[in-house]
Structure formats: C-alpha cells, structure tokens
Amino acid sequence: MSFADLFDWFDHVYIVNLPHRADRRAETTAEFARVGIQLPDPRIEFFKASRPDAKGDFPSIGSLGNFMSQTRVLRDAMERGLTRVLICEDDLHLNDLPPATVAAVLSDLKTTDWSIAALGYLEPYDPPAGHTGLSDWTTGTRGTQFWAIQGKDAIKGFHDYLELVRQRPPGHPKGGSMFFDGAFNMVRTQVPGITFRIATPCLAGQRASRTDIHDLRFFDRVEPFRTIAGALRKWMNRKRRG
C-alpha cells in the first residue's frame, strides 16, 4: 500500500499554493513523484491561495491569507458537492514509512468514525504509540501540512465556523482572528458532531522553505542572504530525502 493508494481514495486533493511560488509547485511535484504520484492529475489541484493587502486583526498578512485560503478550499468542496477531501500545504514532506503503516491509516480512514483527520503535523512530537492508523486526540496539534475532512455537514460546519472566526476580534472565547492552526484546534469544541483523529505515526512533515505565513526574517529579505538561505534549504531537503 502506497501514498498513491491513499490519495486515490479521496474525491479530490487540494494543494494550497500562492501563484508566485513556482518554486514550491516544482518541489511538491518532485515530492509527489518520489512516492509514485505523477502530476498533473485531474483529481489533484494546485489551489490558488489568497494574499490580502492588509492583515486586519490577524497576526500577519500571510496568516490571514492562509486562513482565507483554507476557507475557500472548503467552500470549493461544498460547491462541487464533494464529501471527502485531502488538503495539503505546498511545503509538505511525505515521510518515509513502511507500506503497512500507510495501509493501516487508509484502513482506519475507510472503516472508523472521523470528521477531521490530521495526517501530517509538526506537533504532537510524541503521538500515541499504541496503535498504527488513526488515533483519538483531544489536546492541541500544530501544523496542517496534510489533513483530511469528510462529510458534507462537517465541511459546511468547518467552513461556516471559519467565516465567523474571521469576523471576530482576537481572543474571542469562541475563536477570533488567529492562525489557522488555532481554528483547526477550536473547531472540535465549537462545531457539534466533529470527530477529530490523528494519524499515528505522523505521515507528513514540512520541507525547509521560505515562509509565506509569518513575517520574513532579514535573511529572507536581503541579498545575498536570501540566496544563501534558499540554497541551504534545498541542501537540507535533499539531505532529508537521503
């Protein structure tokens, strides 16, 4: 069982990507090819991410853009009548795992109850180790490089919740302007009927890449440091792939 089999099970796969980040599209295409998924594919889409002119009450322009992009993905799924979608960030790294591990996660996706599944994440660092597949998780996660949602009610519920969050001030008890990661955690308690689970072990992480969400550090803004930083990230990603 491979990542290709897992991807094939979903109605549609979205890869959230800013149009000017051709570098990330190329790297993601190579990353998918590495695990046997060839792009272009009619069911795998580079989804045009949002880039607003101002951040409003959000931590940064990039955080608002990512929040808007994820909301638009869910709206697109609703408009297409999709019931099961996989959502990827364009800097994801698919972990090297035995086929049996991917098969176990896919089996649980097919046979267990879930609404939202965090398949690839940065935290928890130490997810539950007693089960290979999908595991219950009631505390926070960080990172949404690779996640799935199923059920028209869940898709609409999460979409509508995100719309409400964007209209509220930061610190609102039901969720206000924040990073998407925060809303990804809060939706479990704010939208009735959401069942949240995580993949154990984690299926995907994050490639080294210049951020589009947080404010850029000086070495990503000033030459020659920007070029040097880019070269170092490429070296780190090649080393990670072995």
Q: pLDDT (tens digit, 9 = 90+) per residue, 230-240? A: 545 454 544 55
Structure tokens at 136: 């219950």
CB 116 within 8 A of CB 187: yes
Beta carbons within 8 Å of 30's beta carbon, 6+ residues apart: none
Helix (H, G, I), strand (E, B) or coil at 149: strand
pTM of the model: 0.86
Are 226 and 115 within one domain? Answer: no
pLDDT for 201: 96
Are 93 and 126 within one domain? Answer: yes
Are 201 and 231 within one domain? Answer: no
Whole domain around residue 197: which residue ranges? 3-207
Structure tokens at 204: 């995907």
Q: What's the rounded Cα separation, in Å, for the pair 6 and 19?
A: 26
Are 194 and 221 within one domain? Answer: no
- The structural domain count of the chain equals 2
- Residue 4 class from Cβ within 10 Å (0-12 exposed, 13-18 middle, 19+ buried)? middle
Are 9 and 26 within one domain? Answer: yes
Cα–Cα distances (Å) from 80 to 6, 7, 83, 184, in that order, read 21, 18, 9, 22
How many CB atoms neighbour CB 81 within 10 A? 8
Are 64 and 92 within one domain? Answer: yes
Q: What's the rounded Cα separation, in Å, for the pair 166 and 176?
A: 6
Are 12 and 73 within one domain? Answer: yes
Are 48 and 121 within one domain? Answer: yes
Helix (H, G, I), strand (E, B) or coil at 73: helix
Beta carbons within 8 Å of 201's beta carbon, 6+ residues apart: 95, 97, 101, 127, 132
pLDDT for 229: 42
Per-residue pLDDT tens listing for the chain (242 residues)? 899 999 999 999 999 999 999 999 999 999 999 999 999 999 999 999 999 999 999 999 999 999 999 999 999 999 999 999 999 999 999 999 999 999 999 999 999 999 999 999 999 988 888 899 999 999 999 999 999 999 999 999 999 999 999 999 999 999 999 999 999 999 999 999 999 999 999 999 999 766 665 454 444 444 554 444 454 545 454 455 55
Q: What's the rounded Cα separation, in Å, for the pair 35 and 19?
A: 24
pLDDT for 209: 66
Q: What are 120's strand-pairing partners? A: 146, 204
Are 84 and 198 within one domain? Answer: yes
CB 194 within 8 A of CB 227: no
- Residue 45 class from Cβ within 10 Å (0-12 exposed, 13-18 middle, 19+ buried)? middle
Half-sphere exposure of 208 (CA within 13 A, CB side): 14
Query: What is the helix (H) or strand (E) element at residue 124, kind and residue range?
Result: none
Are 78 and 180 within one domain? Answer: yes
- Residue 112 class from Cβ within 10 Å (0-12 exposed, 13-18 middle, 19+ buried)? middle
